[in-house]
A and B are shown apart, each in its own frame.
Chain A
């Protein structure tokens, strides 16, 4: 690419949190210093990412080669920051700051054990997330993808009890199993078919590889199921299983970092490996198959979410649904749908993290996990519940929140692709989203007579408010406000994404 700028910024952004891990371990005696280290590295990381924003926004691409070519595989470990990578990095690093604040409150609130290990591995997994965001070719992407799976395992099994063990076991068998089982052979097959070039720049890797329809389909599905972090059915059940983890882990990793990495990889596969022409009807016409699998996942996961009483499991299944929106948008491979799916990464991240924060706050304050126990909660925890309301609007895609913009693009994209059936799927799923979020909010503020657990005051009054510690409440209100701000100020996001999408050669 002509406008490639060489700078080591992406490397330092990646290393910022990786280097924080040993520092955190060093300060394991002084908790305040340890938390300080996490914060410093979070701000440094965001600063580096923001430093790269103007360059990328100006249409340039930042490239940096860490280790040049391996003889056999002339695919170096290199970073290449473009619009898509920048957006995802922005979302991940900004939300990390908020989550750090939240997790300090949560861990201290619940006197969790071995917090040093928690914060260290948290930092390492963030650096892996940025690694994936900035990956310049498929090999680097796979490298950081595997690193993320391994770095998050200790977080998921943090409680070290029986449930954590089973949760961890499913988590790993799915993620490592599918990545070695499907993604590795697909990676090598792409590498052979493309004659040894794996980089995302320039035209798509397999554009000129002359694949047959069947080969293309098998390869696409191998990638889609290989990157099972995207939670496509039938390889989705690691996500509800991972709800065993403490809430900050679920909040950042399973709303923002881990799952978004999965979807990000699929977007890279669609745009970088196959190229939008090859996916769409003009080329091998394989995208539509993936779209219908995603649609199936959306409907089924929303139905399951409806039936879940445990709040975190409901949020988990809703995440699976939302992720499949993004995959759907990517699979349709029209200009609007791809833009919509990229925007939805940001919108859903902000919305879903708020909901997870609220779930954690409720657990810290009242110890309640099940929605049936949460009647009348609005009276004692007004801020949390209103943030929960805004978050759920964001996920459903209603006006004041950013969710609307991304869903609007997605729907317009589907219309552009002329897929009537998928339009219906969008409609039904939006209704289902509303069906499993709004009752929670309604019941919290206007509980029916019989359902209120005793001890909750009759009417709302400031005196009876018992919120979670401020360190939990402040972050969730920030993310709720962010969701609204993104609705109004989404100009720079759309411009960033638009520029990336135009480079895809529609």
Chain B
């Protein structure tokens, strides 16, 4: 049974959605248990797959039994799990599980009688994302991108906020353009190689007279533009801020950490497995321009985040900046840049999840969208605020959180490959992040306008009697336990991911041995 894991991994959320469809409609309370079991099964599969990959290298799984011994490669659809996507599988399932715990009560409140639909859509989104991560077939990737995009359009449009539906409309238009460009790119590749399987295409592209024809260059541009639109890379990010800040809170917690990161993974998979790093970094030679684009993305994302008034909008612009990190890292044409980019995909997913859950709890409890309405958080909600602080410190890049180590590898890649613009952009963005988050801590710590200067000779109430928190229980000011516990788990994961980044990076490097980044510096 153990070699059927990729299938079970994908099927359990799919069956979860179907059972919710059949059973959940009548009694909404049944929906969550089904969701929880489905996601736990796929989490278990993801972890055992990761163990298998670490033990015995990449796994190839041929759907329909069309394995290469019987039929030439590319007849059936192949799934391939190596170090990189095994880790991403675990991240996706963990984030989905944590979001489902967060949504136990919140989904009911926000979508009232459509809770089963919400759970069905989120499970199908998980199927789409897991499928994208696992597939090794270019067209199959398009179909799964469509599955995940369609469900995310619906999840964004479900909310009661009118602006949410308008944002969903823009998201559909941009998303379809992106997916169609990707489809067109695959079409161009198919026309030149006659193959759809990534490894087969790579083989055929490696001989120069096919590989260097303008069609393949145009195909690469199309795929790149398509994937950049899906990941909201700087010039094409128009849809992201509105979509993620006006959608229901449970959707933002599910979409924000996953959608853009999986699209970055798709870009890296296409770059390494389909075109190969030699083709991209030597014959194409765009790495400088793309890294400069990434620098613009990082700086613009951070500065725009600085200009925001609403908390969730600010976090969305931070996502745009983080995408700039990853794209820049991947395009440094340097081993450590690529390792940094992949590690950042993992750490950034959890960082974004932590910040979004905390932001949603603040907005729900304080009924305040804007940053300056969040005063007195340290006193009222100490536990949630500590979770937020850990997420923020990770975003700034303070050790021992995961954010620091991903910046470390990206900076190392930047310095070694001599892209000083990228190094400077990273530092500027870290500083701007510091300002951003300390501005929030200040409001949370001081309150909107602190009392006049302290010269009055200490007429404060005496501290000796219990402080003004005066809370009988520890959780009185906090959100509901089902919302705070996932936050704390995510914060813990961020720190653990940071502290134990050694083994994770070792797995990534093992996977990268298979497809070395050309001009790879000494490890």
Contacts and interface: CB of A to CB of B under 8 A. Distances in A.
Are A and B in direct contact (Cβ within 8 Å)?
Answer: yes
Nearest to A139: B399
Interface stretch (B101-109, B114-122, B293-301, B404-412): B404-412
B69 interface: no
B457 interface: yes
Contact of A169 (B405, B416, B442, B463): B442
A72 B342 CA distance: 13
B462 interface: yes
Given A162-B452, A165-B442, A188 B415 contact: yes
Contact of A160 (B446, B467, B502): B446
Given A72-B409, A113-B463, A185-B427, A143 B454 contact: no
A282 interface: no
A180 B463 contact: no
Instruction: Tell which of A67, A150, A188 has the most Cβ of chain B within 10 Å.
Output: A188
Contacts of A180: 396-397, 427, 430-431, 434
A419 B452 CA distance: 51
A70 to B, nearest CB: 4
B190 interface: no
Interface stretch (A170-178, A405-413, A477-485): A170-178
B466 A70 contact: no
Interface stretch (B175-183, B264-272, B282-290, B503-511): B503-511
Given A28-B467, A71-B501, A169-B442, A111 B460 contact: yes
Interface string A343-365: 00000000000000000000000
Instruction: Report whether over half of chain A's contact residues are helix, strand or loop; otherwise say mixed.
Output: helix
Contact of B408 (A67, A188, A367): A188
Nearest to A244: B454
Contacts of B415: 185, 188-189, 192
Given A116-B467, A177-B431, A161 B505 contact: no
Given A70-B502, A157-B446, A161-B450, 15 more contacts: A68-B502, A70-B501, A72-B405, A72-B501, A108-B464, A115-B463, A150-B398, A154-B445, A160-B446, A163-B453, A169-B442, A180-B396, A180-B431, A188-B408, A191-B412
A181 B423 CA distance: 10
B207 interface: no
B427 A181 contact: yes
A113 B434 contact: no
A110 B398 contact: no
A143 B502 CA distance: 17
10 contacts: A72-B409, A112-B460, A113-B460, A160-B451, A162-B453, A180-B430, A180-B434, A188-B408, A192-B415, A192-B416
Given A72-B505, A172-B438, A192-B416, A164 B464 contact: no
B70 interface: no
Interface residues of B, number: 50
Contacts of A139: 399
A192 B416 CA distance: 8
Contacts of B442: 165, 168-169
Contact of B502 (A69, A116, A163, A188): A69
Given A146-B399, A172-B434, A163 B454 contact: yes
Contacts of B445: 154, 157, 160
Contacts, number: 128
A192 B335 CA distance: 14
Interface residues of A, number: 49
A142 B399 contact: yes
A172 B460 CA distance: 26
Nearest to B503: A71
Contacts of A367: 457
Q: Which 6 A-B pairs have the closest CB atoms?
A: A143-B399, A70-B502, A71-B505, A71-B502, A161-B454, A113-B460
Contact of A77 (B400, B411, B412, B503): B400
Nearest to B508: A71
Interface in A448-489: none
B427 A114 contact: no
Contacts of B457: 367
B499 interface: yes
A72 B347 CA distance: 15
Contacts of A162: 450-453
B458 interface: yes
Interface in A47-105: 67-73, 77
Contacts of B505: 70-72
Interface in B397-444: 397-400, 405, 407-409, 411-412, 415-416, 423, 427, 430-431, 434-435, 438, 442
Nearest to A112: B463
A77 B339 CA distance: 21
Contacts of A417: none
A107 interface: yes
B476 to A, nearest CB: 15
Given A157-B445, A163-B453, A172-B434, A143 B400 contact: yes
A72 B463 contact: no
A420 interface: no
A151 B339 CA distance: 32
B513 interface: no
A439 interface: no
Contacts of A142: 399
B461 interface: yes
Contact of B499 (A67, A108, A114, A154): A67
Interface string A103-140: 00001101111111000000000000000000000010
B462 A181 contact: no
B96 interface: no
A184 interface: yes
B430 A113 contact: no
A114 B467 contact: yes
B336 interface: yes
A189 B418 CA distance: 12
A113 B461 contact: yes
A115 B438 CA distance: 22
Contacts of B499: 67, 77
Interface in A406-448: none
